[in-house]
Structure 1
Amino acid sequence: MSALAGKTAVITGSSRGVGAATAKLLAAEGANVVINYRQKAPRANKVVAEIEAAGGKAIAVGADLTDPESVRQLMQTAVDTFGGLDLLVLNASGGMEADLGEDYAMRLNRDAQNDALTAGLEHLIEGGRVVFVTSHQAHFIDEVETMPEYEQVARSKRAGETALTERLPEMSEEGVSFVVVSGDMIEGTVTATLLNRARPGALEARREAAGKLYSVEEFAAEVATMATADVETGHVELVGGAEDFLSRTAR
């Protein structure tokens, strides 16, 4: 029997892309999954329908992650529906949108992650896990320069990772482990598309530097694996293209 059978997972930003693919993989392992979306309910409901058609259990819950009360309701709905909370995957990110304010990247990628952890810790069981999803461009931003078009987002995501990592003692007191999964640019994601639009050729340049870029499904598989991987709390899993970044930090 899978270690996830009967467990409940909340995956933020999971109506599409890596979040949706991760949710489907966790559901296939027997987890009850909560599909979180901000505005696009039909898209989230489609993910739920696909999971249910495959024999899994899922619900879609709308929540603006930059609203702490909305985040608390997200976690509470998971508990009310499935009886508990075992896994919180902090996948949602953004900041390249031009119409959500200059501080949106920091509000979403740092502040909202912190609020989600606070809300999650109210319900996560002992032995539960939090997985934070980030990029190499963000994780290594203090050592490796990134594209100017992405720097604000990268710094806000690094700030989010730092803020969460600083709460390791608090998580340990609750019996909850914390894992970071960091990947390179992902083929087919909104962020990669926006970056390539802002800087034509950016995707190809990263593909050449890394040797290969993960697809959405490949990266989601890495995230799903770390949901139950036997690693110490605070572990950072570097996948896809990390060698290029590590070589530059050593210079």
Structure 2
Amino acid sequence: MGALDGKAAIVTGSSRGIGAEVAKLLAAEGAAVVVNYRQKAPRANKVVAQIEEAGGRAVAVAADLTAEEGSQALVDAARQNFGGLDVLVLNASGGMETSMGEDYALRLNRDAQVNMLKAAAEVMPTGSRVVFVTSHQAHFIRTVPTMPEYEPVALSKRAGEDALRDLLPELEAKGISLVVVSGDMIEGTVTATLLDRARPGALEARRAEAGKLYSVEEFGAEVAKMVTADVPSGHTEYVGGAESFQSQG
């Protein structure tokens, strides 16, 4: 018996990296998982295949969360394939890309997060949980400066977190809890790679300051834990290296 037997989950941005790891871990606990991708269907299908080979249930669903219909497509997929929705992991983020338009970071990291949560909350029953994944660099951006190359993304992610927290009374009325997981730079992620490319040595410098940077697998495990953790709604879980940010803030 898994902790999530009989539950259905959506993990946004789960065709690779942290999202893929979370999707597999939730499936291992019994959840049926909607694996979301924007363009790379083969990657998402591989995650689904890995889940199914391990005895779990999953479906890959293409959805651009910045498009008006993207969020609803994921909710509809959860209901049609698995009969409902109990868990939402808001993992998808970005903004370091240079080809997606000037306001892309804000559209993805704030607007899309709110739209996804609102669509999901319409069908989630009492006792459901939402987990929002962010970074220390974004969570503490108002008190601790970050690299100029990352600042627009950090500000947009903090705006997203604030907008989600503004919905806490509405969620509480529905019996839905929201938990934020804040992590340091993660080895092997797209954002860390792009940052290190924009500012060579940035990853090594942060690794030296923090003492250790989590791997995708390690951080994914921490995110997955918060789906069933006994913590109050609005809780922030700090994963690795937060002390230096807290002392500066």
Structure-1-length-normalised TM-score: 0.98
1:23 aligns to what? 23
Which secondary structure state, in structure 1, belongs to the residue aligned with residue 187 of structure 2? coil
Q: Which moved more, 1:61-70 or 1:13-22?
A: 61-70
Superposed CA deviations along residues 174-203 of structure 1, whole A, max 9, x for unmatched, are 110000000000000000000000000000
Task: Determine if the alignment matches structure 1 residue 7 to structure 2 residue 7.
Answer: yes
Aligned residue number for residue 248 of structure 2: 248
CA distance in structure 2 between the aligned counterparts of 1:40 and 1:136, rounded to whole angstroms: 28
Instruction: State how far apart, in whole Å, the 1-side matches of 2:34 and 2:120 are.
Output: 13
In structure 1, the residue matched to 2:33 is 33
> How many residue pairs were aligned?
249
Backbone CA RMSD of aligned residues: 0.6
**How far apart, CA to CA, are the structure 1 residues paired with 2:171 and 2:109?**
19
Tell me the percent identity.
71
Q: Does 1:86 align with 2:86?
A: yes
Q: CA separation in 2, counterparts of 1:205 and 1:237?
A: 24
Residue matched to 1:103: 103
- The answer (yes or no) to whether the contact 2:21–2:216 under 8 Å persists in 1 is yes
SS in 2 for 1:148: coil
Bigger CA drift: 150-159 or 3-12?
3-12
Task: Report the counterpart of residue 164 of structure 1 in structure 2.
Answer: 164
Partner of 1:51: 51
1:139 counterpart residue number: 139
CA contact (8 A) 2:2 2:28 kept: no
In structure 1, runs of 5+ residues without a counterpart are: none
What TM-score do the two structures reach when normalised by structure 2?
Answer: 0.99
- Whether contact under 8 Å (1:36, 1:60) holds in the other structure is yes
- State the 1:68 CA deviation: 2.5
- Is it true that 1:60 corresponds to 2:23 in the alignment? no
Counterpart position of 2:148: 148
Q: Is the 8 A contact 2:131 2:180 kept in 1?
A: yes
**Structure 1 residue 71, shift from structure 2 partner:** 1.1
Deviation at 1:74, TM superposition (A): 1.1
Match for residue 197 of structure 1? 197
Q: Show the counterpart of 1:121.
A: 121
Q: Please list, as runs of the form range in 1=range in 2, the aligned pairs for 1:206-245 lying within 5 A after superposition.
A: 206-245=206-245
Q: Which residue of 1 aligns with 2:75?
A: 75
Runs ≥4 residues deviating over 4 A = none
1:6 offset after TM fit, Å?
A: 1.6
Give 1:3 shift: 2.2
> Alpha-carbon deviation of 1:69?
1.4
The answer to whether the 8 A contact 2:186-2:192 is kept is: yes
Contact 1:68 1:116 in 2 (8 A): no
- CA distance in structure 2 between the partners assigned to 1:192 and 1:206 by the alignment: 10
Distance in structure 2 (CA, Å) of the matches to 1:148 and 1:114: 26
After superposing the two structures, state which structure 1 stretch, 174-183 or 67-76, moved more: 67-76
Deviations 1:143-199 (A, max 9, x none): 000000000000000000000001100000111000000000000000000000000
